[in-house]
Amino acid sequence: MTGADAPTRNRSAVRSLLRLWPYVRPVRERLAWAAFVAVLASCLSLVIPLVLKWIVDGPVAERDPGGVWLGALYLLLLGLAEAALFGLRRWLVARPLAGVEAAMRDDLYRHLQRLPVAFHDQWPSGQLLSRGTTDLMLLRMFLAFPLTFLLVNGVTILVGFVILLQQQWSLGLVLLAPAVPLVVLCSLFESKYSLVARRSQDQVGDLTTVVEESVLGIRVIKGFGRHRSQARAFRELSLTLRGTELVKARLLAGIWTTITALPELAIGAALVLGTVQVADGGLSAGTLVAFLSTALALRWPVESIGFLLAISQDAATATERYFEVMDAPEETAGGGAPPSPPATAGRDGMVFDAVEFRYPDAPEGTPPVLARVDLHVRPGETMALVGATGSGKTTLTALVPRLHEVTGGRITLDGQDITAMPRERLRELVSVAFEEPTLFSASVGENVLMGAGGGAGEADLERALDTAQAHFVHRLPEGAATQVGEQGLSLSGGQRQRLALARAVVGRPRFLVLDDPLSALDVHTEALVEAALRRVLADTTALVVAHRPSTVLLADRVALLSGGRVTAVGTHQELLRTSDEYAWLMSGAGDGGTSDGRTAGEKGDTA
């Protein structure tokens, strides 16, 4: 989902923001106290005009300097009390709201870990990052200021107009005249601003995606001299976002101008009428001063309405974006496959029974990626999976650990349907190594031991490194404690692949799924890894995607995948004699071309 195709719902801001209640509920008492303190502080500001009225009609009219000084003392104390109360409000909300933001971010991260791979395939990472950073920052700002002051300013305006009407009801009605047009204008502003706010936040996600891709792909950008085209793409998105922000600014400027101008006109009219009444003797000068002071004290609560509405709309949009991710269904224990008849648990190996798979976002009418795949990998057997590019090999291997859910048929491990297993148990039984190895910003040892349970130690680490012929680890500055950096890009492709293989075998899994695990190795290192890997494969049931004869020879039998189906199964020699397609694939894989996946810089990597 990108900023361009994100939904622009016109949902009520209040309804969206109410979804924050489960996170706000634990700190509701503290927020309620903060709101009470803020209302009290704001109402104190309305007492100041009453003190001014007393000063003007009393000590000033009677020429009593002592009374004037006493009134000034009262004003000073009121100002100090107001400032102290606002400071107390800030202290009350700071810690709990930081906890709300942290809780929401933790929930989002945990939820992302539990979402299926299909979800991550469809969502740009920048969109997810912006929801966990920018959107949550907007929500914290909303809870800290606008949420409280929408209530505070509402109460202040209500109390203030009660005071104005009590002082002089005719002048109070003059000040109330702009209320109806202001309500209409604010409603129009809210509907327009919400759409622009959504577009802006989606565009921030798009921009974040471009930045992340540029950083991760900096070698490609520099290698092909594409920095100018990437800069142009970034600038186009940046200018688009700038244009959207300017639209927001124009809307905000328009509502702020209107909200400021109409009350100012009303105050001017009240001043003229009040002056006439004072001249006619129908109104005291102190009452007029108090009335105008109260009206001026209400300027900020009224003028801030546009600003508070804008932040509230930003927060409502951020809430929608946050819960768009949180509402996505997590991986379920039952999976997406239809119910299958019970099977008797035993040592039956890995069985694919009429397995079908179609990607969730595939257009209607397109053929499935896999169509009725039947394959039996016997207990303790290593099965090589061979096929042309696009035949579905990687997809088939991803179904075993349930990175994707089968859409037809079933897969059993030792007679037990994988959809009936808890995912944690399934992923204890099955270990995987992908063709594109991914390492994390952690030490070498931590990356490898990620593939084992909590009981793995140094001996397991050394055994796995030896199996993968990753002896280069001992020559790193801090050995296995060396930090590999983001994506492991400080290492060569062959080194990363060997660490990924070590991670797959460190836990001594019962079932092993390897997706072309030796593609980035030179022939000498490959031979060493194969020799060590044979010992591991002898104790496990394995499915290995292979492109080269040397990898195929690790297997007991070979399955040929063609057009989403298994079209032949046999030993390497049998398929060479009976399958022209297999013979053709093996001749292409052995010619030293691109099928081995190596770059010139990685050949000869024997470290």
Q: Give residue-wise pLDDT tens across range 432-485.
A: 888 777 888 888 888 888 888 666 778 888 888 888 888 888 888 888 888 887
Q: Are 63 and 36 in contact (CB under 8 A)?
A: no
Is the model's pLDDT at 342 over the cut of 60?
no
Residues 260 and 395 in one domain: no
Q: For the segment 48-79, what is each residue's pLDDT rounded down to a tens digit?
A: 777 777 777 777 777 778 778 887 888 888 88
Residues 419 and 517 in one domain: yes
Is 226 contained in some domain? yes
Residues 116 and 208 in one domain: yes
Per-residue pLDDT at 479:
87
Is the model's pLDDT at 495 over the cut of 80?
yes
Name the average pLDDT for the chain: 81
Residues 226 and 126 in one domain: yes
Is the model's pLDDT at 352 over the cut of 90?
yes
Residues 286 and 418 in one domain: no
The count of structural domains within the chain is 2
Per-residue pLDDT at 561:
92
- Our separate counts of H helices and E strands in the chain read 23, 10
Is the model's pLDDT at 602 over the cut of 50?
no
Residues 288 and 428 in one domain: no
Q: For the segment 576-587, what is each residue's pLDDT rounded down to a tens digit?
A: 999 999 989 888
Residues 232 and 371 in one domain: no
Per-residue pLDDT at 599:
32
Among 19-33, 396-410, 490-504, 593-607, the least confident range: 593-607
Is 456 contained in some domain? no
Give this prediction's pTM: 0.72
Is the model's pLDDT at 25 over the cut of 50?
yes
Residues 301 and 429 in one domain: no
Q: Are 507 and 470 in contact (CB under 8 A)?
A: no
Higher model confidence: residue 239 or residue 602?
Answer: 239
Residues 409 and 260 in one domain: no
Q: What is the CATH number of the domain that holds 405?
A: 3.40.50.300
Residue-range definition of the domain harbouring residue 44 = 13-326
Closest CA to 514 of 490, 498, 528: 498
Q: For the segment 228-281, what is each residue's pLDDT rounded down to a tens digit?
A: 888 888 899 999 999 999 998 899 888 888 888 888 888 888 888 888 888 887
The DSSP secondary structure of 367-408, one letter per residue, reads PPSEEEEEEEE-TT-EEEEEE-TTSSHHHHHHHTTTSS--SE
Q: For the segment 527-543, what is each residue's pLDDT rounded down to a tens digit?
A: 777 777 888 888 889 99
The DSSP secondary structure of 539-560, one letter per residue, reads TSEEEEE--SHHHHTTSSEEEE
Per-residue pLDDT at 243:
92
Residues 301 and 354 in one domain: no
Closest CA to 388 of 187, 545, 160, 247: 545
Is 198 contained in some domain? yes
Rounded average pLDDT over 89-113: 86
Is 557 contained in some domain? yes
Backbone angles phi and psi of 568, in degrees to 5: -160, 145
Residues 303 and 359 in one domain: no
Using DSSP's 3-state secondary structure scheme, residue 453 falls into coil
